[in-house]
Amino acid sequence: MKLTRHNGRAGKNGTYNPKHNDRRFDVENSDHIDTERAKQNIYWDCFNGYRTFADREEEPELAATFEEVEQLYYVQKYSPFVEGQNARNAQTRHTERNRSIEEIRMNKKTCPEETVYQIGNMEEYVSPEVLLQVVTEFIAELNRRFGSHIHTLDWALHLDESTPHIHERHVFDCENKYGELFPQQEKALEALGFELPEPEKKPSRYNNRKMVFDSACRVLLFEVAKKHGLHLEEEPEYGGRKYLEKQDFILAKQKERMAAQGEIIEQQQTVISEQLGAILHQNQALSENAKEIAMQGEKLEKLTLKLEDVEQLIDDVSDIAYDKAVEVVTDTVRIETHQEDMRLVDETKRWLLSLERKAPLKQREFAVKYLDSVMGKIGNAMKTVLHRIQQKLMQPDMRNAGKQQVKEQARETILEKLKRNQRKVDQENAARKQARQNARSQETEL
């Protein structure tokens, strides 16, 4: 197994927040934290000592949270420096350089440093009791040796995540030339006697006393672990910042979920696109149907107008047809009757004038003349009678009755023609509908 000790003060989201360590947030919303095992966590701070989950119900006298503990410590220890430095800034007329205690505590150069201790990994790790013994003995030895300039503020044993581990926070400080205590790591380590890894070179990110201090701490930590019978890999493992940033871990998990959700969304978008295509196709078909219905509506409207015109035409034609029929009928009756009478008279006249007749010629000629006279009277009488008949037929009651018969006859003829046309239109519409259905079936098969 490996023993890891990683340090850090700040990540890409700013300085590390002690709220993560004492679980002063809604753990229900954190997928990587087991809410039931969180009740087994152990906490310690420099004002209240050891505390458990159950102890949270008792309000401490000084500070309830790790954040309040660190705020109180900074106020107690570093207020003289802040007040003195702000006064000196005022004397030099540079009050824009003034800082508050909280600004000192949150600055990544002067904030507490956080260290995470872990023995093993998710597959294999030591018991929480052994981890707690090793780390607390190491911290005690660290305070015994370097406690004049390194101060442990708080720590928490977490049993609610995949592997037991401890978060510990401490601050480096030493006095400045004015005798004021102030958080400054390199000066504190220099006061403790730590040298640069390469003394001949200037201090830098890769040549500083903190590197030597961390190496010494690692050696000391392994010595304590060996006292507890642990034989661990002593290859140093770096990358503490990545380990410390729990928010990055959470974000990575969230990104995994988002990627999975993205695939689901992409699949849903594909389905939606297909559905939209089908809907658009249906809309197009509906639009075509609507156009066809509109066209049929226009045709129906025109047909209605035509029917109204036909009805009016039937009325007009019926009037004219009836009047003309009366006139034609009476004329026909007159002519046919007169011709028939003339035929009979002519036959009679030929019979009278025939040589076969024995009556005297004068008597027969007289009879012929008399017949001609009778024919004239019959013609006049016929005209009078036909005129009376025509007047009778043109009377309103007779005329309306006759006109209605003409109208019904005309309407029946027109309606029969309309029905024939309607049957033809229905057949054409049925053929078009069947053609569209066949086209849709072919598209579906494709």
223 in the same domain as 352 = no
28 against 314, higher pLDDT: 28
Q: How many domains in the chain?
A: 2
Domain boundary among 208, 225, 242: 242
Residue 74 lies in a domain: yes
Residue 281 lies in a domain: no
SS3 for 343-375, per residue?
HHHHHHHHHHHCCCCCCCHHHHHHHHHHHHHHH
250 against 354, higher pLDDT: 354
Residue 274 lies in a domain: no
**Where is mean pLDDT largest: 131-135, 238-242, 301-305?**
131-135
Residue 299 lies in a domain: no
pLDDT at 262 over 70: yes
Under the banding of pLDDT at 50, 70 and 90, the label for residue 250 is very low
316 in the same domain as 218 = no
Domain boundary among 218, 242, 266: 242
159 in the same domain as 73 = yes
420 in the same domain as 321 = yes
pLDDT at 244 over 60: no
Average pLDDT score over the chain: 82
Query: Of 23-27, 77-81, 197-201, 309-313, which range is least confident?
Result: 309-313
Under the banding of pLDDT at 50, 70 and 90, the label for residue 243 is very low
Give the ranges where 111-177 is alpha helix by DSSP (H): 128-146
pLDDT > 90 in the chain, percent: 41
pLDDT at position 96 is: 95
Q: What is the pLDDT of residues 265-287, one digit of tens each?
A: 888 888 888 888 888 887 787 77
Residue 369 lies in a domain: yes
pLDDT at 338 over 70: no
pLDDT at position 379 is: 73
* Both tokens assigned to 273: 């696109």
342 in the same domain as 221 = no
Q: What is the pLDDT averaged over residues 364-386? A: 76
Query: Of 42-46, 294-298, 355-359, 390-394, which range is least confident?
Result: 390-394
CB 69 within 8 A of CB 57: no
pLDDT at position 140 is: 97
Residue 257 lies in a domain: no
71 against 422, higher pLDDT: 71
pLDDT at 329 over 70: no
300 against 247, higher pLDDT: 300
191 in the same domain as 61 = yes
237 in the same domain as 312 = no
Under the banding of pLDDT at 50, 70 and 90, the label for residue 325 is low
373 against 319, higher pLDDT: 373
* Both tokens assigned to 27: 């753990």
Q: Cα separation of 66 and 85, whole Å?
A: 27
Under the banding of pLDDT at 50, 70 and 90, the label for residue 332 is low
111 in the same domain as 189 = yes
Sign of torsion over alpha carbons 35, 39, 40, 43: positive
- Nearest CA-CA partner of 9 in 1, 17, 429, 444: 17
Q: Cα separation of 81 and 78, whole Å?
A: 5
pLDDT at position 233 is: 81
CATH of residue 126: 3.30.930.30
174 in the same domain as 27 = yes
426 in the same domain as 351 = yes
Residue 337 lies in a domain: yes
346 in the same domain as 205 = no
Q: Cα separation of 55 and 43, whole Å?
A: 10
Q: Cα separation of 395 and 174, whole Å?
A: 137
pLDDT at position 336 is: 66
Which range marks the domain in which residue 198 is found? 3-242
Rounded-to-10 torsion of CA 429, 434, 435, 438: 160
Under the banding of pLDDT at 50, 70 and 90, the label for residue 246 is very low
pLDDT at position 254 is: 56
Residue 275 lies in a domain: no
CB 342 within 8 A of CB 376: no
pLDDT at 156 over 70: yes
Q: Cα separation of 100 and 75, whole Å?
A: 10
321 in the same domain as 216 = no
pLDDT at 241 over 50: no
Domain boundary among 213, 242, 271: 242
Q: Cα separation of 310 and 415, whole Å?
A: 10
Q: What is the pLDDT averaged over residues 297-305? A: 69
Q: What is the pLDDT averaged over residues 206-233? A: 93
Q: What is the pLDDT of residues 110-141, one digit of tens each?
A: 999 999 999 998 889 999 999 999 999 999 99
CB 176 within 8 A of CB 65: no
